[in-house]
Structure 1
Amino acid sequence: MYLPETMVSLPFILLLFAVLQAPSSSLHSKSGDREELLQFKEGLSDPLGSLSSWNSSNADFCRWAGVTCSRRHPGRVVSLSLPSRDLGGTISPAIGNLTSLRKLDLRSNMFYGEVPHTIGRLHRLRELVIQNCSLDGEIPQELGNCSNLMGLNLTINQLKGRIPDALGSASRLQYLSLGYNNLVGGIPPSIGNLSSLVILTLYQNNMDGTIPEVLSHLNHLQRIQVARNNFSGTIPPLFFNISSLQRLGFGSNKLQGSIPPDAGANLPILKELHLGNNRLSGMLPSSLANATNIQVLSVARNRFQGRVPPEIGKLCPPRVELGGNRLEARNDEDWEFLRSFTNCSRLQLIDLTGNNFGGMLPGYVANFSRQLQWLGMGENQMSGVIPPGIGNLVNLIYLEFAGNNLQGVIPEEIGRLQNLKSLMLQENRLSGQIPSSLGNLTQMLTLALSYNQLDGSIPKSLGNLERLTSLNLSSNRLTGGIPGEIFTLSSLTDFLSLSGNYLSGVLPPQAGSLKHVAHLDISRNNLSGNIPEALGDCENLVYLTLDGNFLTGGIPRSLGNLKALSILNLTRNAFSSSIPRELGKITGLQQLYLAHNNLSGSIPLILGNLSALIELDISYNHLDGEVPSSGVFSNLTGLSILANDGLCGGIPELRLPSCHVKPHNKQRQLSLMILLPVVLIVTSLLLLCSVLFLFKGKITVGKMKIPSLYKIDEKYPRVSYNELFHATDGFAPANLIGGGKYGSVFKGNLSLSASENDATVAIKVFNFHQSGSFRSFMAELEVLRQVKHRNLINIITSCSSIDSRGNDFHALVFKFMPNYSLDKWLHPGADEQWHKLSLVQLLNIAVQVADALDYLHNNSQPSIIHCDLKPSNIMLGSDWTAYVADFGISKLVGESMDRYMSSSGNSVVIRGTIGYVAPEYGESGQVSAAGDSYSFGITLLEMFTGRAPTDDMFTKGLSLHLFAEMAFPDKISEIVDPTLVQPFDNDARLDTALACITSALRVGISCSKKAPLERMSMKNAAVELHRTRDSLLEEYFV
C-alpha cells in the first residue's frame, strides 16, 4: 500500500534536516568562536604575553586566557575578560561576531581608536566595560541594539561627540558610566526611558544644556553624578522625591534656581548631596534635616543667603561645606546651628569660609568633636577672640580664621595641634607676639599671619618647622633681626614674605640656603648692610623684592645666577657702584626695578637683549653714558630713566641729548694705519691654524665607526640643521623647554612631510662642548631604534650635521609632549598655575612607567637598563599617557656599545641622578635591572608623598625610603600628599583611597631597598600596581 506523497516527504525532510544539522553542530563545537578570537588578537600589542595561549596550535580556545565558554553550547564564548593586561591597538570589529557574548571586560588597557560599531550585534551582551583606555571617536548608536545590556562603563577615555539617543533603547540598562571623557551636548531625554537605571555617571565632560526633567522619573536611581560639566537651568524638583537616591551629584556646573522647601522630606537614605560650585540661590531648606543618613552636605560656592536653619546642625553629617555663599549670622540665635554641631561625634569638616557670618566668634567652636580635621571660618565678619580651647581639637589639619575682625592674641594652646598643616590667621586685628609654641607644629606646611598687628620678634622656634612650604608674616609690627633659623628652612618652596614690618639688622649668609623658594619678599623694613653673595644660590627664585630698606654696597653679580627670576625689585635702598652686566643673563626677567639708589656708571647694553623684559625703572640714580635702543629701551611704556643727568642718546622719544663722539686726530689715524695690517695678519694666521685643527678633528671623527643615521619613521624625511634652526627661530631662548648635562631641548614647528602642515616637535640638541655628549647621542639613538612600546618616548628622526659655525651638530626629534614632564606637575613653580595630579592620574602614570621598564628588562631584545629614571624623564602626552624618555646613559645588556666609542679612549661611566641612582652604582659601577627598580621605587615614593629625594629634610641618615618605611603602614596618612585624598568625600572612599596609596607605597618601599637582591622586580611591581589601580577604579567609577 502506498502512502500519499505528502506524508512520505515531510518525515523524510525532517530526518534529513536532523542528519545534516548534526555534523554542522559538531563542527561548530570544534571551531566555535575561535577564528573571531584570533581576529581580535591580530594587530594587538601584547608586551606582557597575556595572549600567548591564543594560538592555532592550542585547539581548546575555551581555556585561553580570559575566555569563558558556554556549558550548554560548547564552543560559544560567553565572557571575554582581559582587564589590566597592557594590551594595545584597536579593538577588532570581529568582536561583533561573538554573538553569544554576555560579558566583555577590557578595562585598563591601552586600546585606542573607536568603540566598534559591531558590538551592536551582541544582543545577549549584559556587561560592557572598556574604562580607562584611550578610546576616541563617538559612542556608537548601535549599542542601543544590545537589548539585554545591563551595565555600560566607558569612563576615563577620550570619547567625543554626543551621547546617542539610541542608548535609551537599551531598556534593561542598570548602570551607565561615561565620566572622564570629552562628550558634548545635552543628556538625551531618551535616557529617561531606562526605568531600571540605578547609576548614571557623566562626571567631568564638556556637556551642556539643561537636566532633562524626565530623568527625575527614574524611581530606582541610587547614584547620579553629572558634576564638572556646563549644565545650566534649574534642578528638576522631582529629583528630591526619588526615595532610592543615595548620591546626588550636580556640583561644578552653571545651575540656577533654588532648592525646593521640601527637598529632604523624601530622601530617607541619601548619603551625599553635592551641589557646590553652581549659581544656586535662595534659602537652605530646613527640610534637609529629614535626610538623617546624610554624610556629606556640600552646597559651597553658590549664592545661598539668609540664616542657616538650626535643624541643619542636628543632622550631624561628618562633612559640612557651606563656604562661598551669602549666609548670615548676627546673634546667638543665628549661630544655633553651629552650637548643635558640638554634639556631633563624627564631625570631620566644617567649611563656612566666604560668607557674611558676623557677630562674636562663638567660644563653643572649641567644643567640637576631637575627630574634627578641617575648620574653615575665614573671610567673614566675625569679631571677638580665638578661644584658647581650640588647642583641644588635636586632630585638626586645617584651621582658618583669616579675613575677619578678630582681636586679642594668638593662643599659645594652638601649639598643641601636632597634626596641623595649615594655619591661616591673616587679615585680622590680632596683636601681641607670635607664640613660640608654634614651633611645635612640625607637620605645618602653610603659616599665614600677615596683615595683623603682631609685634615683638620672630620666634627662633619657627626654624623647627622643617616641612613648611609657605611662611607669610608680612604687614605686622615685628621688630628685631631675622632669625637665621628661618633661612635654614630649605623646605620653603612657595614663598617667604616678611615685608611691611620693622625688621632690622643684616640679611644673614644663610639666606642662600633657600634653594627651593620661589617668592622672597623682605621689602619695606629697616634692613641694612650688603646683600649676601650667597643669595645668588637661590636658583628657584621667581620673585625677589627687597625694596624700601637701607641696603648698601653693590648689587651682587651672583644675582645673575637666578635663571628663574621674573621680578627683581631693589628700589629705595642705598646701593652704589654700577649695574652688574650679569643681570643680563637672566633671560626670563620681566620686571627690573632699581630706582632711588646711588647707582653710577653706564647702562649695560646686554639689558637690551632681554626679550622678556617689559618694565625697567632705573630712575633717580647717577647713571651716565648712552642709553641702549633695543628691547625694553625701544618702548617708553615700560621704561623709566628719570633724574639721571648723565644719560644721552637712546630713542628720539626720550629727548635726551646726543652722545658726543671725539674726532680722530692724525696721530690716531697713523696708529691705525700701522696696527690694522698687523692685526689682520695675526688674525689670518690664527684662523688658518683653527681650520687645520678642525680639519684634523673631522678626520679623527670620520675614522670612528658611526652607524648610518637612518630616519626612524619611514614616512618622515631626514631633516637638516637649517630646518631645525628655522623650526626653533634660531634656537631662541623663548623656545627652550628643558635641558640637561649633554644638551638642551627646544620646542619647534617642523614640516615632517609634504602632505602635512607643520607639526609641533621637541628637538633635543646635544652640546658638542660637553665631553660625552656624542656618546650620549649615539646611545640614545641606538636604544630608541630598537624598542617600541606605547610608554616609551617616540623618536621621529635625527640630524647629524654641521652648524652655521662649522661645529658638529647632533639632534634627535621627538613628538612634542604638551603636558611636559611629571616633575613639572609634582613640583610646579610659584608662577605656574598647574593643578595637582589626581590619585587616578598618578596611579595610571605609575602603571605605565612600570610597564615600560618591565618591557625594557624582560621583553626587549637585547634587554635595556635605563640607568636614569626620575620624574623629569617621564613625559606626559595630551591624554596624560606617560612616556619614559632620555636614554642617553642607558645600557644594552649583552651587547657592547664600544663600537660607537672606540675613538674616545675612555670607558663608559654610568651616572644617574643624585637621589634616584642606586647606591651600588657608586660602589661598583655595575648596572643591573635592580638599579632601575631602585630609581622607580624612589620616583613612586615621590609621587605619592610629594617629597623629592633631594629635599633638605632628608639629612642625618634620613632618606625618602626610610621616611616612607617608618610611616608604613599605620602612619601613611601622615606622609601622603594631602591633595590626593581631598576629593574622596566620605569615610568609605577615603579608606579605599588610602588603601590604594598604601599599596603603591609598599611597591615603592620594596623597589628601593638598599640591597639589590631584596628589591621587587619591575614585572612584579607592574602586576601589583595594576591590581591597585583597578581596585580604585572599581570602587570610585563604577
Structure 2
Amino acid sequence: MANHGIIILCAILWLFDSANTPVKCSNNKTDSLALLSFKAAIDDDPRGALNSWNESVDFCSWKGILCGSRHHTRVVSINMMSQGLVGYLSPHIALGLSKNKLSGTISPFVGNLKRLVLLSLANCGLQGEIPQVLVHLQSLELINLDENSLTGAIPPGLYNISTFSIFSVRSNQLRGTIPRDLGFSFPKSRHLDLGDNQFSGVLPASLSNASMLEIINLSDSIGNLSSDLSYLSVGRNEVHGSIPSDIENLVGLTRLIISDNNLEGPISFAFGKLTRLQELYLDTNRFANLLPSSLGNLSLLNHIYLQKNNIHGSTPQSLSNCTNLLTLDLSHNNLIDSIPQEILMISTISISFNLAYTHLQGFIPNFLSSCASLQWLHLEANSLDGEIPRQLNELRGLQDLDLSRNKLSGPIPRFLSELLLVNLNLSFNRLQGEVPMLGVFQNRTAVSVDGNNELCGGIADLKLPPCSSQNSKKKYVPTVLKVLIPMVAALVICFTLSVYFCLFVCRRRRRSRDTLSSMPSFEGQFLRLSYADLLKATNGFSEANLIGAGRHGSVYKGILDDGQTLVAVKVLSLHVKGASKSFISECNTLRVVRHRNLLKLLSICQSTDFQGSDFKALVYKYMSNGSLEKCLHQNRQQQGGQDEKTSNLTMIQRLNIAIDIASVLEYLHCGTDSSIVHGDLKPSNILLDDDMTAHVGDFGLAKVMSSISSEFPTHDGSSTGIKGTIGYVPPEYGMSTIVSPQGDVYGYGILLLEMFTNVRTTDDYVLKEHTGLNNYVNSALPNAVMEIVDPLILSEIQGERTMKRDCMNSVLSIGVACSMESPNDRMSITNVVNQLCKIRTTYLLPS
C-alpha cells in the first residue's frame, strides 16, 4: 500500500494462526501480537513511523496507537496517516464494529480490504443497500450485518464466496430470492441466518448439501404468505415459542402440520378463520391449557392430532360441530375427568379415536357406539372402571381395540370374538372369568390379556389356568332363589325331555326343505362330503389345523379319506350376523363362474353337527403357499421399535400375481352374462398355489348385477354401513349402498400399491402424513419412487438399466390411476391387464 495512510477507528484487533482461526489469549497480548504482525508486513517505513514499535515496550506508548482506559488498555485507534508506508495490510488486523452508532451506509472503501477475514457491523444503525464491492472480499469467513435497516437485495456475488463459515444478515429489510445453489456455494457454512427479512420464493433444496450447518434461520412472516396456500408443514424441527397469530391470514389452508417441535403456551390464534382446514397436526409439542372454542368452526375438519402435549381441562362444546371428523387423537394429555361428552357427540369418527394416557376416570360411556364405523379405539393407560359396555358391539368396523392398563372388571364380553378385530389388548385390568376361544381370541399374537389374575380358559397359548365351575363365572344368587332354582330346574328338565324328540324331528324336516330351496344348484359337479367327513379330515377342527379366521368363519386345513387330496375347509360361524347370507352369496357367485385364477370350490356341506346344530361349510382346493398377505408381510419384525419391511416375492412374481388378479376382475366384470362385483379385494383373499399362481377367493360380499355400465349401476342393497375392508373400500361406498365394478378397481389399485411398496394401508405414517396409500405413492411419482418401493425390489433392480426402473414407475402409476377418488376417473380393468402384460414383457428383456 504505497504512500497511503491507514486509520481504523473503534477497532478490535484479532490474532490468527496459520489457518486464520482466532487464537485465544489475554486481551493486551492479542493486541500486541496483532500490531507486531502488522509491522512485519510493511516492506518500507521511510519516516521511521514504526521504530517505536518495540516488543519490550508497552504498545499503548507506540507512535500512532491510541488505547482507551475504558477498554482496559485495548487498542481503539491506529493512525498511520501520511507515513509513506509500503507493503501489505496484515490479515491479523480485522474490522469489529458491532453495537456502535455509525449510521449512514456501509462505505464502499471496505471493498478494498481484499484479505479481510471477518466483517462485523451488527446493530450499528446502518441503512441503504449492501455495497456491490463487498464481493471482492474473497477471503471472508464471517460477515455479520444483523439488526440494521439495510434494504435491497444481497449482491449475488456474496453468495459465491465459498470461505464463509458464518453468514448472518438477520433483522433487516432485505428483499429478493434465495439462490437455488446456496447449499453448494456455502459448503463450509456452520451458521446461516437470513431470518426476519422480506425474502420471497422457495427454500433451496441444495441446502441439504451444506453438511456442516449447525444453525440455520430462514424465518419469514407466515402471515405474508399467499392466502391461496393450501398446505403448510413445519413439522419435525426445533421451532419454539408460540404459534404466530398471523397464521390466521392463511384462509386457504386445507392441511396444517406443526408436529414435533417445541411450541408452547395456549393454542390461542383464531382457528375459526381457517374454514377450509381439513387436517390439523399440532401433536408432540408443549401446548397447555384448554382447546380454543374456535375449533368448532372448522366444519370441514377430517383429522385432528393433538397428542403428546399438556392440554388439560374439558374440551370445547363447539367441537361437536366438526361433523366431518374422521380421526381425533388427544392421547398423552391431562384431560383428567371422564371422557368428554362433547367428543362423544361426534358420530362421524370412523378411522381413529385415541384418548390413551389422558388420566381419564369413570365408566366407558355407552354412546361411544354412535361411531359405528370406527376402526381404531385406544383408551389404554387411564383409570377407567366398570365393565366393558355391551354397546361396543355396535362398532362393527372396529379392527384395533386397546383398553389395557385401566381398572375394568367383570367378564370379557363374548361379542368381542364376533368383531373383525386384528388387535385386542385387555391386559392389566381386573377382568374375571373365562376367555373366549373364537375370533381374535384364536390368535395369540393378536390378543393380550396379561395381568388379569382372575381369568381362565382360552386357547393353550395364553397359558391361563383351566376354568372350573367356581372361576368360570361368579354367581351372586339370593338365598330364596337357592331353594326355588332346583325346583324349577327339575320341572324344566322333565318338560324339555318330553318335547325334545318331537322338536328335533320337526327341525330336521324343516331343514331339509330349506336346504332344497336356498341351496344353489351345482348339478352334481362337486364331491359329496358330510359333517363327519369334514370332522375327520380336519382332525376334529383342531386348532393345529386352523389356518385362518375371519368375521364369518374359520378355515381349517384337511386331508380327505383318499389320503392325497388336501383341502381348505371354511366353517361358517352361523351365530354371527350375516354369516348365512355370506354363505349363500358365495355359493350363488361360484355357481356361475369358471376361471383359472378363481379359488376352486370342491364341495359344499349344509347339514347338522352331532349336537343337532346347523352346520355350513365350503370346501376349497388347498393352496400350499398361503395368502398374498402372508407372503408380503410375514417377515415384518419389531427391531428397536421399528418394523422391518421385507417380503419373499421377486419383481416378476409380483407382476405375475398382479396380472392374475386383474384377469379375474376383467372376467368377473366383463366375461359373463352378468357383471359380478367381488366387494372385498385384499391380500388375505388372494391365495397362491405351488407355482405361485394367484387365485382370488372369498366371495361372501360379492354382488351379481344385471347389467354392466361405465356409470354407477343401481343396486337395492340394504346395508347401513360400509361393506368390505377399510383401506380398500372406495370413498363412494361411504356415502351410498351402491356397489359397482369401479369399486373393485379401486380396491385392486390399493392392493397393487401395497404389493410393490410392502406398505400396509393401516400404517400410521401413511394415514398421518398422506391420508392414504394412494396419496403416499402419488407424492413420490415420478422422481422419488425408489425411496418407497419394497427394499427387496430395490435390491433386485439396483444397478439395472433405466428401462427396468421405469417399469417400477409404470406399475405404481397404474395403482394410482386405479385408485382415483372419482369412479369415472379410474383406469379400466381391461386396460390394466394390457398395460401390466406390456410391463412384464419389457422387464423380461435381457439387460
- 1:764-843 to structure 2, matched below 5 A, reads 765=572, 767=574, 770=578, 772-783=581-592, 786-789=594-597, 792-795=598-601, 798-803=604-609, 804-813=611-620, 815=623, 817-820=626-629
Secondary structure of the residue that 2:507 maps to in structure 1? Answer: helix
- 1:206-221 to structure 2, matched below 5 A, reads none
The Cα shift of 1:721 comes to 4.6
Q: Partners in 2 of 1:795 and 1:502 — Cα distance?
A: 58
The Cα shift of 1:983 comes to 2.6
Q: Partners in 2 of 1:346 and 1:992 — Cα distance?
A: 32
Q: Partners in 2 of 1:490 and 1:730 — Cα distance?
A: 47
Q: Which amino acid aligns with 1:775?
A: I
Question: Identity of paired residues, percent?
Answer: 12
Question: CA separation of 1:736/1:637 partners in 2, compared to 1, >3 Å: closer, same or farther?
Answer: closer
Q: Partners in 2 of 1:461 and 1:881 — Cα distance?
A: 55
**Which residue of 220, 234, 249 corresponds with 1:388?**
220
Secondary structure of the residue that 2:617 maps to in structure 1? Answer: strand
8 A Cα contact 1:723 1:750, kept in partner = yes
Secondary structure of the residue that 1:616 maps to in structure 2? Answer: coil
Secondary structure of the residue that 1:720 maps to in structure 2? Answer: helix
Deviations 1:292-326 (A, max 9, x none): xxxxxxxxxxxxxxxxxx9xxxxxxxxxxxxxxxx
- 1:194-205 to structure 2, matched below 5 A, reads none
8 A Cα contact 2:335 2:359, kept in partner = yes
Q: Which amino acid aligns with 1:472?
A: D
Q: Partners in 2 of 1:580 and 1:537 — Cα distance?
A: 20
8 A Cα contact 2:628 2:683, kept in partner = no
The Cα shift of 1:1027 comes to 4.1
The Cα shift of 1:1025 comes to 4.8
8 A Cα contact 1:566 1:590, kept in partner = yes
**Which residue of 704, 729, 739 corresponds with 2:543?**
729
TM-score where L is the length of structure 2: 0.50
The answer for the alignment partner of 2:570 in structure 1 is 763
The answer for the alignment partner of 1:457 in structure 2 is 268
Give yes or no for the alignment of 1:691 onto 2:501.
no
The Cα shift of 1:806 comes to 1.6
Q: Which amino acid aligns with 1:720?
A: L
Structure 2 stretches of 5 or more lacking a match?
1-138, 140-161, 168-176, 418-422, 442-447, 455-463, 467-472, 635-640, 708-714, 762-770, 788-798
**Which residue of 720, 724, 743 corresponds with 2:534?**
720
Q: Partners in 2 of 1:992 and 1:553 — Cα distance?
A: 55
Secondary structure of the residue that 2:572 maps to in structure 1? Answer: strand
The answer for the alignment partner of 2:43 in structure 1 is none
The Cα shift of 1:490 comes to 6.3
The answer for the alignment partner of 2:311 in structure 1 is 501
Deviations 1:361-403 (A, max 9, x none): 66599979848569779999955755117xxxxxxxxxxxxxx
The Cα shift of 1:499 comes to 3.9
- 1:307-326 to structure 2, matched below 5 A, reads none
Q: Partners in 1 of 2:193 and 2:589 — Cα distance?
A: 64
Give yes or no for the alignment of 1:476 onto 2:287.
yes
Deviations 1:731-772 (A, max 9, x none): 99xx76544xxx34x35444468767999x583637476464
Question: CA separation of 1:673/1:569 partners in 2, compared to 1, >3 Å: closer, same or farther?
Answer: closer
**Which residue of 514, 517, 521 corresponds with 1:701?**
514
Secondary structure of the residue that 1:691 maps to in structure 2? Answer: helix
The Cα shift of 1:807 comes to 0.7
The answer for the alignment partner of 2:427 in structure 1 is 615
Q: Partners in 2 of 1:541 and 1:917 — Cα distance?
A: 17
**Which residue of 389, 405, 411 corresponds with 1:580?**
389
The answer for the alignment partner of 2:118 in structure 1 is none
The answer for the alignment partner of 1:492 in structure 2 is 303
Deviations 1:617-667 (A, max 9, x none): 46xxxxxxx9658699xx9972599xxxxxxxx999xxxxxx9999997x7
- 1:994-1005 to structure 2, matched below 5 A, reads none
The answer for the alignment partner of 1:592 in structure 2 is 404
The answer for the alignment partner of 2:157 in structure 1 is none
**Which residue of 541, 552, 555 corresponds with 2:365?**
555
Q: Partners in 1 of 2:783 and 2:561 — Cα distance?
A: 46
The Cα shift of 1:776 comes to 1.4
The answer for the alignment partner of 1:288 in structure 2 is none
The answer for the alignment partner of 2:86 in structure 1 is none
8 A Cα contact 1:853 1:1018, kept in partner = yes
Q: Partners in 1 of 2:416 and 2:668 — Cα distance?
A: 45
Give yes or no for the alignment of 1:638 onto 2:451.
yes
Q: Partners in 2 of 1:372 and 1:465 — Cα distance?
A: 29
Q: Which amino acid aligns with 1:982?
A: A
Q: Partners in 2 of 1:483 and 1:720 — Cα distance?
A: 62
Question: CA separation of 1:672/1:474 partners in 2, compared to 1, >3 Å: closer, same or farther?
Answer: same
Question: CA separation of 1:892/1:708 partners in 2, compared to 1, >3 Å: closer, same or farther?
Answer: same
Question: CA separation of 1:386/1:507 partners in 2, compared to 1, >3 Å: closer, same or farther?
Answer: farther
Q: Partners in 1 of 2:678 and 2:323 — Cα distance?
A: 27
The answer for the alignment partner of 1:430 in structure 2 is 241
Q: Partners in 1 of 2:184 and 2:562 — Cα distance?
A: 60
The Cα shift of 1:484 comes to 4.6
8 A Cα contact 2:675 2:705, kept in partner = yes
8 A Cα contact 2:521 2:591, kept in partner = no
Secondary structure of the residue that 2:290 maps to in structure 1? Answer: strand
Deviates more, 1:673-682 or 1:936-945: 936-945
Q: Partners in 1 of 2:752 and 2:277 — Cα distance?
A: 19
- 1:15-34 to structure 2, matched below 5 A, reads none
Secondary structure of the residue that 1:615 maps to in structure 2? Answer: coil
Q: Partners in 2 of 1:852 and 1:613 — Cα distance?
A: 38
8 A Cα contact 1:718 1:797, kept in partner = no
Higher Cα Rg: structure 1 or 2? 2
Deviations 1:79-121 (A, max 9, x none): xxxxxxxxxxxxxxxxxxxxxxxxxxxxxxxxxxxxxxxxxxx
The Cα shift of 1:453 comes to 2.0
- RMSD over aligned Cα, in angstroms? 6.8
8 A Cα contact 1:425 1:449, kept in partner = yes
The answer for the alignment partner of 1:524 in structure 2 is 334
8 A Cα contact 1:766 1:774, kept in partner = no
Give yes or no for the alignment of 1:850 onto 2:656.
no
Q: Which amino acid aligns with 2:268?
A: S
The Cα shift of 1:788 comes to 1.7
Q: Which amino acid aligns with 1:569?
A: E
Question: CA separation of 1:427/1:594 partners in 2, compared to 1, >3 Å: closer, same or farther?
Answer: farther
TM-score where L is the length of structure 1: 0.42
Q: Which amino acid aligns with 1:594?
A: N
